[in-house]
C-alpha cells in the first residue's frame, strides 16, 4: 500500500447501536453496501478500507458473455450528479466467477452479485451459474439498466416482463440466498412493479437504478455521451429515490428494501432508512471519495444513536408513523391563562 493511501479511522469504535439488518433470509452485520457499477467487485476499494467492514459489496452487473459496452464518452458531469452510459461493460460470468467472486470470497466479504440479461433465459442461466458459489450472500437482479439499445429490455418498466425475470431467477437460485429486484424510477407507479416482483418471488427490492437522462455539449452541439442517453445518478436524484423508497415501503411494509440514490453522508442514509430502507448502497460519491461507504456507516451509526435508536431496525420506516398529537400544557391552576388553543397535530398535512 502506498504511503499516500488514505485509510479512514475504521478502528474507531461505533456507537452502541445494533446495526444488524435482515434482507430476506440473510443477516448482514451492518446496513451499508456499495452500489452496483460504482466499485467494480470491490478490489479497487481495498486500498482504502477493509471491504469486510461493509454490510456487503454489490458488484457491477454481470452478463453471460463478455461485453465491451457503449461508445465513448461514457460519462458526463451534471449539476449535483453525473450521467453514465457504460452499457453493461464486463468480462462475462465465467471470468467474473473465476476472478471477482473468488476474490471477494477469499477476502471474506459478503458478495451481492448483480446480474443482467437480454432475455428471461439469460437471467435463468446466470442464476444457475451462481448456485453454490462461495461468498455469494445475495443476488440483485438488474432489470432496470437504462443503457440498453432496446428499451423493450428494461424489464422493470413492465410488471409482466419484470415478474417473468424474477420468477426465473428465484427458481434457479439457492433457497437460502435472497433475490432482490432492482427497480427503475422511470415508471408511472413504482409500487405496481414492486408488487409484481414480490409476487413473482423477490425477497426484497433495490430502489432505485439511475434515471434516464441526457446532456448536449454546447461546443460540439452534439449529445455529450457516445450512447446519446445515459443514467443520471448522484445527489441530484436523492429526492426521487427517497420518494420511491417511501412509496414502495408504504405499499409493501414487510418487504425489505436496499435503498440507493445520491447518498453522500450518514444523514442521507438515515433519510432512506426512515423512508423504509433496511440497508443502503453508496454509489456515485465513491468516485470522488473512495472511503465514503465506511464514513457513511460511522455517520449513520452516530446519527441513530443521537436520535435514541438502539437498533437500526427500529428506525426502518420510522417517518411513516402517524404524526404525534400536540398536547398543550395543563391550564394554569391560578386560572389567569389565555384560553387554550384547539388541539393541533405537529407535521405536514399532505401525507396524512
Q: Which residue is nearest to ligand RRO (CB)?
A: 231
Q: Is 316 near ligand RRO (CB under 6 A)?
A: no
Burial (CB < 10 A; 0-12, 13-18, 19+), residue 2, is exposed
Site string (5-44) toward ligand RRO, x via CB under 6 A:
--------------------------------x-------
Q: How far is the CB of 162 from ligand RRO (least distance, A)?
A: 14
Q: Is 145 near ligand RRO (CB under 6 A)?
A: yes
Q: Residue 73 and residue 277: Cα distance in Å, rounded?
A: 34
Q: Residue 212 and residue 134: Cα distance in Å, rounded?
A: 35
Nearer to ligand RRO, 87 or 262 (CB): 87
Residues within window 192-231 making contact with ligand RRO, judged by CB under 6 A = 209-210, 231
Question: Which position has the grid cell 405499499?
Answer: 251
Q: Is 281 near ligand RRO (CB under 6 A)?
A: no
DSSP 8-state secondary structure symbol assigned to residue 185 = S
Q: Is 61 near ligand RRO (CB under 6 A)?
A: yes
| Candidate segments 83-91, 120-128, 247-255, 261-269, binder of ligand RRO by CB under 6 A | 83-91
Query: Distance of CA 258 to CAs 32, 36, 140, 248, 265, Å?
Result: 9, 12, 10, 11, 16
Q: Is 87 near ligand RRO (CB under 6 A)?
A: yes
Site string (226-255) toward ligand RRO, x via CB under 6 A:
-----x------------------------
Whether 38 is a known active-site residue: answer: no
Q: Residue 243 and residue 191: Cα distance in Å, rounded?
A: 11
Q: What is the dihedral sign for C-alpha 105, 111, 116, 117?
A: positive
Q: Determine the number of helices (DSSP H) and then strands (DSSP E) in the chain.
A: 9, 18
Q: Is 261 near ligand RRO (CB under 6 A)?
A: no
Of the candidates 295, 349, 299, 303, the one whose C-alpha atom is nearest the C-alpha of residue 323 is 349
Of the candidates 118, 139, 43, 130, the one whose C-alpha atom is nearest the C-alpha of residue 94 is 130
Q: Residue 126 and residue 132: Cα distance in Å, rounded?
A: 12
Largest distance between two CA atoms of the chain: 82
Nearer to ligand RRO, 197 or 303 (CB): 197
Q: Given the residues 38, 145, 197, 244, select the one marked as catalytic.
A: 145
Query: Distance of CA 161 to CAs 154, 166, 185, 197, 252, Å?
Result: 9, 9, 16, 10, 20
Nearer to ligand RRO, 116 or 248 (CB): 116
Q: Which of 19, 35, 54, 86 binds ligand RRO (CB under 6 A)?
A: 86
Number of amino acids touching ligand RRO (CB under 6 A): 15
Nearer to ligand RRO, 17 or 237 (CB): 237
Q: How far is the CB of 63 from ligand RRO (least distance, A)?
A: 9
Q: How far is the CB of 18 from ligand RRO (least distance, A)?
A: 32
Q: How far is the CB of 223 from ligand RRO (least distance, A)?
A: 15
Question: Residue 317 corresponds to which cell in the numbers above?
Answer: 420506516
| Candidate segments 80-88, 97-105, 309-317, 341-349, binder of ligand RRO by CB under 6 A | 80-88
Q: Which of 34, 59, 147, 284 binds ligand RRO (CB under 6 A)?
A: 147
Q: Residue 101 and residue 277: Cα distance in Å, rounded?
A: 26
| Candidate segments 93-101, 102-110, 145-153, 253-261, binder of ligand RRO by CB under 6 A | 145-153
Pair 70, 147: CB distance under 8 Å: yes
Pair 172, 189: CB distance under 8 Å: no
Q: Which of 64, 82, 88, 162 binds ligand RRO (CB under 6 A)?
A: 88
Task: Provide the binding-site residues for ligand RRO, judged by CB under 6 A.
Answer: 37, 61, 84-88, 116, 142, 145-147, 209-210, 231
Q: Give the residue numbers marked as catalytic.
A: 145
Amino acid at each position: 500500500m502506498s504511503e499516500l493511501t488514505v485509510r479512514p479511522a475504521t478502528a474507531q469504535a461505533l456507537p452502541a447501536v445494533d446495526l444488524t439488518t435482515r434482507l430476506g433470509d440473510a443477516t448482514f452485520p451492518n446496513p451499508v453496501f456499495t452500489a452496483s457499477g460504482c466499485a467494480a467487485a470491490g478490489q479497487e476499494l481495498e486500498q482504502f478500507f477493509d471491504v469486510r467492514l461493509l454490510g456487503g459489496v454489490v458488484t457491477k452487473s454481470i452478463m453471460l458473455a463478455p461485453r465491451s459496452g457503449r461508445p465513448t464518452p461514457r460519462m458526463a458531469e451534471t449539476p449535483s450528479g453525473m450521467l453514465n452510459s457504460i452499457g453493461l461493460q464486463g468480462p462475462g460470468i465465467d471470468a467474473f466467477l473465476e476472478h471477482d467472486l473468488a476474490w471477494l470470497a477469499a477476502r471474506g466479504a459478503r458478495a451481492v452479485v448483480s446480474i443482467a440479461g437480454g432475455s428471461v433465459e439469460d437471467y435463468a442461466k446466470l442464476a444457475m451459474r451462481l448456485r453454490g458459489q462461495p461468498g455469494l450472500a445475495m443476488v440483485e437482479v438488474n432489470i432496470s439498466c437504462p443503457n440498453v439499445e432496446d428499451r423493450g429490455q428494461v424489464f422493470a418498466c413492465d410488471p409482466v416482463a419484470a415478474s417473468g425475470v424474477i420468477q426465473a431467477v428465484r427458481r434457479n437460485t439457492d433457497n437460502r440466498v435472497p433475490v432482490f429486484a432492482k427497480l427503475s424510477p422511470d415508471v408511472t407507479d413504482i409500487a405496481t412493479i414492486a408488487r409484481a416482483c414480490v409476487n413473482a418471488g423477490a425477497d426484497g427490492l433495490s430502489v432505485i437504478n439511475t434515471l434516464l437522462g441526457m446532456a448536449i455539449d454546447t461546443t460540439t452541439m452534439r449529445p455529450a455521451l457516445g450512447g446519446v442517453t445515459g443514467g443520471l445518478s448522484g445527489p441530484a436524484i436523492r429526492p426521487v429515490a427517497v420518494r420511491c423508497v417511501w412509496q414502495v415501503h408504504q405499499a409493501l411494509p414487510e418487504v425489505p428494501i436496499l435503498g440507493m440514490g445520491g447518498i453522500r453522508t450518514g444523514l442521507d442514509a438515515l433519510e432512506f432508512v426512515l423512508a423504509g430502507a433496511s440497508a443502503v448502497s453508496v454509489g456515485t460519491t465513491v468516485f470522488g471519495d473512495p472511503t465514503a461507504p465506511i464514513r457513511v456507516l460511522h455517520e449513520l451509526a452516530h446519527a441513530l444513536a443521537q436520535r435514541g435508536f438502539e437498533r437500526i431496525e427500529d428506525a426502518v420506516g420510522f417517518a411513516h408513523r402517524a404524526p404525534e398529537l400536540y398536547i398543550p400544557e395543563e391550564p394554569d391552576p391560578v386560572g389567569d391563562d389565555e384560553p387554550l388553543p384547539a388541539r393541533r397535530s405537529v407535521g405536514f398535512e399532505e401525507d396524512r
